[in-house]
Amino acid sequence: MSVSESVQSVDRALDIIEALAVEPEGLGVTEIAERAGLHKSTAHRLISTLAARSYLEKTDAGTYRIGLKLISAVSCYINSLELQTEARPYLARITGELGLTAHLGVLDGDQVVYIEKMDVISSVKLYSQIGLHVHAYCSSLGKCLLSNYSKEDLETRMANCSFIKFTEKTISSMDEFQEEMKKVRIQGWAIDDEESENGHRCIGAPIYDYRGDIIASISASGTTSIFTAARIQQVAGYLKDIAAQLSGDMGYSE
The CATH number assigned to the domain holding 49 equals: 1.10.10.10
Do 9 and 34 belong to one domain?
A: yes
In a domain, 234, yes or no: yes
Tally of CB atoms within 10 A around 212: 12
Q: What is the mean pLDDT of residues 204-225?
A: 94
Residue type (1 letter), 138 = C
| Residue 244: CATH number of its domain | 3.30.450.40
Q: How many domains does the chain have?
A: 2
**Rounded to whole angstroms, how far apart are CA atoms 199 and 189?**
20
Do 18 and 117 belong to one domain?
A: no
Q: Which domain holds residue 15?
A: 3-66
Segment 75-131, tens digit of pLDDT: 556 556 678 888 999 999 999 999 999 999 999 889 998 988 888 764 444 444 777
Burial (0-12, 13-18, 19+ Cβ within 10 Å), 45:
middle
Q: Is the entire prediction scored with pTM above 0.75?
A: no
End-to-end CA distance of the chain: 49
Do 49 and 105 belong to one domain?
A: no
Do 17 and 109 belong to one domain?
A: no
In a domain, 254, yes or no: no
- What kind and span of H or E run contains 102? strand 101-108
Query: What letter does residue 27 receive in the DSSP assignment?
Result: B
Position 78 scores a pLDDT of 56
